[in-house]
Amino acid sequence: MPKKPKRPCSHPGCPRLTDGRYCEEHGKAEAKRYEKYDRDPAVRRRYGRAWKRIRDKHIAVNPLCEECKRKGRLTAAEEVHHIIPLSRGGTHASDNLMSLCKSCHSEITARDGDRWHTR
C-alpha cells in the first residue's frame, strides 16, 4: 500500500518534508517546549526514573500494541499508556497500563484530550 506523501514541517520557515507534523529537529524542540511550559509540574514529577523502569518492564512483557492486536494487526509497542490517567487518580499498576504503538497512543491521547487540554 502506498504511503501518504510527505508534507512540509509545521515550524514556520522550515522547508523540510516530514511524515508527521514536524521534522525530526523541530519535533524534538516542540516536545521540549511542551514539557517545559505547558505540562503541569506535578505531572512531570510523576514520570521520573521509577516510571522509566516500570515502562521498560511493561514493554518487555507486552511487546505488541494492544489496540492493533485487537484489530488483528501485529505492531511493535513503543509507548505505555495509562488507562486511567495519573491526573484522574490512576496509578502505575500493571492493570492500568497498556502497550501501544505511537499511532494508537496519539489517537487515544487526542481523543481523551489529555495533552491538548484547555485551560
Given a cut of 60, whether residue 49 has pLDDT beyond it is yes
Residue whose cell numbers read 505540562: 39
How does DSSP classify residue 25?
H
Please give the pLDDT value at position 1: 62
Dihedral sign computed on CA atoms, order 63, 69, 72, 75 = negative
pLDDT at 78 over 50: yes
**Whole-prediction pTM:** 0.59
Question: Is the same domain home to 27 and 81?
Answer: no
Instruction: State the amino acid at position 9 in one-letter form.
Output: C
**Is it the case that residue 34 has pLDDT exceeding 90?**
no
* 13: in domain: yes
Can you tell me the mean pLDDT for 17-27? 90
Q: Is residue 2 part of a domain?
A: no
Inform me whether the pLDDT recorded for 116 exceeds 50: no
DSSP, collapsed to helix, strand or coil, labels residue 82 as strand
Task: Report how many domains make up the chain.
Answer: 2
What was the pLDDT predicted at 82? Answer: 92
**CATH number, domain at 95?**
1.10.30
For residues 115 and 86, state if they share a domain.
Answer: yes
Q: What's the CA gap between 16 and 65, in Å, rounded?
A: 30
Model pLDDT, residue 118: 39
